[in-house]
Structure 1
């Protein structure tokens, strides 16, 4: 019955299609519902002629991927095609990449073939800020699903650690930490860029960079000098525990204080998997007068859109 309704919905006007899909999205957030029979018909709206309908559908799949990633896996190819289409509206591509990221945690091999991984990485150089943020997030979740899939991409990910968007920098640092937990020596390819992030304006990026360097010290790679951590967590005011915990972790790694008892809560794939969503939520709690996405200082009464990244205030 529901499939038949979706078939008839395709003949309705664009506004009706959008409202109906918004209603489905609200239901998709409820884990008690099953959408296995509906994801195929729903995926047809990813290529709808109306841009708003396509975006609503992409957001629907993000919600569904969070509650039913295995179900969204059935239409992973359709989502990947939207990500690969550089003529698609960039918000649609961003949301499709985000949905793939959630699915990749459980099924990295099935949704991140070499072509899709290339689309995610290449987009970091050329895409709109909103898309780059979701591409970086997807790559972090790919790493959480299977660190091996990015073990040969460390240097290419590190190239974008100076992106102007703090969330891009955070997600990529997170991906590198995850890869390093499985293959610590691989982080040698990103060491210089990670050291630069120790002075990042975001304490969360600094924290991930310190965590990555701490992971690197556990490898057999010879590190030329001790990471400059003295001022990393000494900014005054309220320094997030996220940063201080990771600076402490790196210092103890350098001093080889974990030789007998391994660390807990930091420097492990499990700790990142369990905590990264909460960290992003904390990062997006806007400071007064600051863009929650890129951190640009915004004057009171300024424009409704951030002039740097274009995201609504």
Structure 2
């Protein structure tokens, strides 16, 4: 395409998708690869917005979209990775054919770290609903190894991906409790929370495996982790272990001091832990200590963690706390 040519119009693609004109939609994407940088970027941003509203229309388009994951422009690669996050969160089956392509970007040490982070997040969402698709040991190893990465955004997305994998099939991480527990003292609260949730998920089906993480989980209580939701998840995981081996964890009284909603989250899980220690049923409810409760409540907890008082993201409207991450936790836009 020459600079004088008009770039493909996103509205044209949307019309094709609404008409199930698959071959024509693929041709549109192929034409987009030769457009100028700015029109190409803006078109993909519009495509991503359309995917948020109509993810079901993108079945079969994941493969041609992967072309943009290796585009020469970094902004286009990042926009495309975010597009795959959108699809994998709401229509993960559409992303199944390109798991390998996403894994390649995750494993690419030369790739822009935010692209790698978003590819990890997309793989995590796929693994949550289709565990067998993200069971390759190399993918899981990339998730774990990347926890030592210096960039908070990357660590958070990798921890989230591991959480999703555990929620999809706890067996996938049952032999990794020790290695994951080493990162429970990470300075990023979302990393700590996602990993505590992943371990709690493992404990729902393989409680004895949590013995390798007992000390690290207990430290979230004895050190009084500054984030109440993380303290609660640690207590929940410990409660699952206590039910099996009976070795009591000392629970400090001061972590129940406050009366806000977040601390109610802690209290209910401390009740669960104490109930298992004393073989009482009072602490047991369907809302605590089950894989279903973790799957159903995890995203709401993360939303609560990432929406305290602060500035609203100008791109998606999320309230971002002062001193929070440099990228919006929801849409990934720079603050």
Length-normalised TM-score, structure 2: 0.84
C-alpha contact 1:167 1:293 (8 A) present in aligned 2: no
Tell me the secondary structure at the aligned position of residue 255 of structure 2. Answer: coil
User: How many residue pairs end up in the alignment?
Assistant: 300
What is the CA–CA distance in structure 1 between the aligned matches of 2:193 and 2:68, rounded to whole Å? 32
Gaps of 5+ in 1: none
What is the CA–CA distance in structure 2 between the aligned matches of 1:191 and 1:140, rounded to whole Å? 18
Tell me the secondary structure at the aligned position of residue 258 of structure 1. Answer: coil
Give matches, 1:142-291, under 5 Å: 142-198=165-221, 199-219=224-244, 221-223=245-247, 225-235=248-258, 239-258=262-281, 263-287=285-309
Q: What's the counterpart of residue 21 of structure 2?
A: none
Structure 1 residue 21 and structure 2 residue 44: aligned?
yes
Task: Tell me the CA shift for residue 80 of structure 1.
Answer: 0.7
CA-based RMSD: 2.5
What is the CA–CA distance in structure 2 between the aligned matches of 1:226 and 1:175, rounded to whole Å? 20
Distance 1:125 1:294, change over 3 A: farther
Q: What's the counterpart of residue 136 of structure 1?
A: 159
Structure scoring higher RCO (CA < 8 A, sep ≥ 6) equals 1
What is the CA–CA distance in structure 2 between the aligned matches of 1:32 and 1:11, rounded to whole Å? 25
Instruction: Specify which of 126, 135, 141 is matched with residue 149 of structure 2.
Output: 126
Distance 1:237 1:61, change over 3 A: closer
C-alpha contact 1:61 1:72 (8 A) present in aligned 2: yes
What is the CA–CA distance in structure 1 between the aligned matches of 2:325 and 2:55, rounded to whole Å? 38
Q: What's the counterpart of residue 114 of structure 1?
A: 137
Task: Tell me the CA shift for residue 240 of structure 1.
Answer: 3.1
Length-normalised TM-score, structure 1: 0.89
Distance 1:246 1:263, change over 3 A: same
C-alpha contact 2:55 2:90 (8 A) present in aligned 1: no
Distance 1:63 1:216, change over 3 A: same
Could you say which structure has the larger radius of gyration? 2
What is the CA–CA distance in structure 2 between the aligned matches of 1:113 and 1:250, rounded to whole Å? 34
Distance 1:287 1:100, change over 3 A: same
Distance 1:293 1:212, change over 3 A: farther
